[in-house]
Amino acid sequence: MVSASLPDFPWDLLEPAKAVAAAHPGGIVDLSVGTPVDPVPASIRAALADASDAPGYPLTAGTPALRSAIAGWVARACNASGTPAVLPTIGSKELVAWLPTLLGIGPGDVVVIPQVCYPTYEVGVRLSGAEVVRSDSLTALGPDPRVKLVWVNSPSNPTGRVLPREHLRKVVDWARERGAVVASDECYLTLGWDDTPVSVLSDEVCDGDYTGVIAVHSLSKRSNLAGYRAGFVAGDPALIGELLAVRKHAGMIVPAPVQAAMIAALEDETHVTGQRARYASRREALRDALTAAGFRIEHSGAGLYLWSTRGEDCWKTVDWLAERGILAAPGAFYGPAAAQYVRIALTATDERVAAAVARLAA
């Protein structure tokens, strides 16, 4: 069975700590997951509703209007002056989990993922039957011809680390020399705080040439559309064409009303500015409270998380927070190198964030 080769679903392991936190007299403050809690902007909801009379099958490639909206956003937000191909996806997690399989990667092949990263990268490799290698230094891998795919994630989930353009360029050059694909997960690209994220599609990295390079994006964080499952991939036309061909056969199609909502989201930056301001306020409050409570925060220059440590086993920190009614994600979810860290999410209401701040101060 395929499920037998997969790790336990991480958040199931957090249930005991969640029960402790939920028993707090003031209720739980759940900072363990990056699930948006603020409303979907009215203009996006209106676009979804207006397109709800959709009896026919939608286009797997996306409507011409959606492809145009994605391409325009990529040009603006990613500083991509070339002509990357684009393709809507059913959120970004689906694409991350199935990309190795969709690209024909399998037994005997190697996929490189970051040392500390989102668990679904490893799950996707296991689903394909390929071998996973955790490494932040490609030079250490040598000229291994089995490497077919290299994942990079900037800004990182969970650490908030931003990779500089020089690093991204080296990764692209390394992969091209070996005929490997570079997949860049950039779902937090628009949430730079102390650091300014750079897209792998940027002219600073690719000079307008997207050969062997794709970037994965999501509207879940920027527009509060996690419930809509709205994402897209952009980059090498040949690779995007290959993904489209397989997805047509597999029925991996974004619903027509969601496609209409995506257009509204991509063509409006006002709601993005407002949401950024809310996250900035929550970030400042939680960062100050954690630091005052003896935590050290590392990286966290972008994204929706504070990568925090007390210099002890992450599960001990999770329990310490749970006793105060606060639930955090243990670093163990993200790789062996993260065993002394917890991920603190900014995705809680102002009232819940204030409650966490008060409990940390106490």
Q: What is the CATH number of the domain that holds 181?
A: 3.40.640.10
State the average pLDDT over residues 311-327: 98
Q: How far apart are CA 280 and CA 53, in angstroms?
A: 38
Per-residue pLDDT for 234 more than 90?
A: yes
Please compute the mean of the pLDDT values over residues 290-307 and round it to a whole number: 98
What is the rounded CA–CA span in Å between residue 190 and residue 226?
A: 16
> For residues 290 and 158, what is the distance between their CA atoms, to the nearest angstrom?
17
Mean pLDDT for all residues in the chain: 96
Torsions phi, psi for 114 (to 5 deg): -65, 155
* Residues 151, 294 within the same domain: no
Position 79 confidence tier, pLDDT thresholds 50, 70, 90: very high
CA 112, CA 150: separation in Å to the nearest integer? 5
Q: How far apart are CA 87 and CA 216, in angstroms?
A: 10
Strand partners, 305: 345
Parallel, antiparallel or unpaired: strands 110-113 and 147-153: parallel
Q: How confident is the model at residue 2 (pLDDT cuts 50, 70, 90)?
A: low
Task: Work out the average pLDDT over 314-339.
Answer: 97
What's the longest Cα–Cα distance across the chain?
58
Residue 232 structure tokens: 């897209």
Instruction: Give the pLDDT band of residue 319 (cuts 50, 70, 90).
Output: very high
- Is the same domain home to 193 and 287? no
d(CA 252, CA 80): 26
275 and 261 housed in the same domain? no
Q: Looking at 216, 251, 266, which one is the last position of a domain? A: 266
Give residue 42's pLDDT: 98
Percent of residues, the chain, with pLDDT higher than 70: 99
103 plus 203 within the same structural domain: yes
Question: According to the model, what pLDDT value does residue 144 have?
Answer: 85
- Asked if residue 108 and residue 146 are part of one domain, the reply reads yes
Domain stop point among 211, 241, 266: 266
Give the Cα separation of 121 and 124 in Å (integer).
5
1 has a pLDDT exceeding 60: no
pLDDT at 201 (0 to 100): 98
pLDDT in tens, 88-99: 999 999 999 999
Question: What confidence tens digit (pLDDT) does each residue in 53-65 have?
Answer: 999 999 999 999 9
Indicate the pairing of strand 326-327 with strand 230-235: unpaired
pLDDT of res. 5? 67
* pLDDT at position 7 over 80: no
Model confidence over 150-196: pLDDT tens digits?
Answer: 999 999 999 999 999 999 999 999 999 999 999 999 999 999 999 99
- 162 with 123, same domain? yes
Q: Can you give the residue range of the structural domain that contains 334?
A: 2-39+271-361
Are 8 and 91 within one domain? no
Number of domains in the chain: 2
C-alpha to C-alpha distance for 178 and 165, rounded to whole angstroms: 20
In this structure, the answer to whether residues 246 and 107 fall within a common structural domain is yes
Residue with tokens 């994965």: 216
B/e letters for 20-38, b = 16+ CB within 10 Å, e = fewer, are: bbeebeeebbbbbebebee
What is the spatial distance between Cα 112 and Cα 147, in angstroms, rounded to a whole number? 7
pLDDT at residue 94, as a whole number: 96
For residues 112-123, give the mean pLDDT. 96
Tell whether 194 and 163 lie within a shared domain: yes
pLDDT in tens, 204-220: 999 999 999 999 999 99
Please check whether residues 255 and 278 belong to one and the same domain.
no
Boundary-marking domain end, from 266, 288, 323: 266
Task: Tell me: do 58 and 153 sit in the same domain.
Answer: yes
Beta-strand (E) ranges in 50-170? 85-90, 110-113, 131-134, 147-153
pLDDT in tens, 21-71: 999 999 999 999 999 999 999 999 999 999 999 999 999 999 999 999 999
Whether 190 and 229 share a structural domain: yes
**Two tokens, residue 346:** 């900014």
Strand (E) or helix (H) holding 265? helix 256-266
CATH at 12: 3.90.1150.10
Name the pLDDT band for 6 (thresholds 50, 70, 90).
confident
| Strands 305-309 vs 342-345: parallel, antiparallel or unpaired | antiparallel
**pLDDT greater than 70 at residue 4:** no
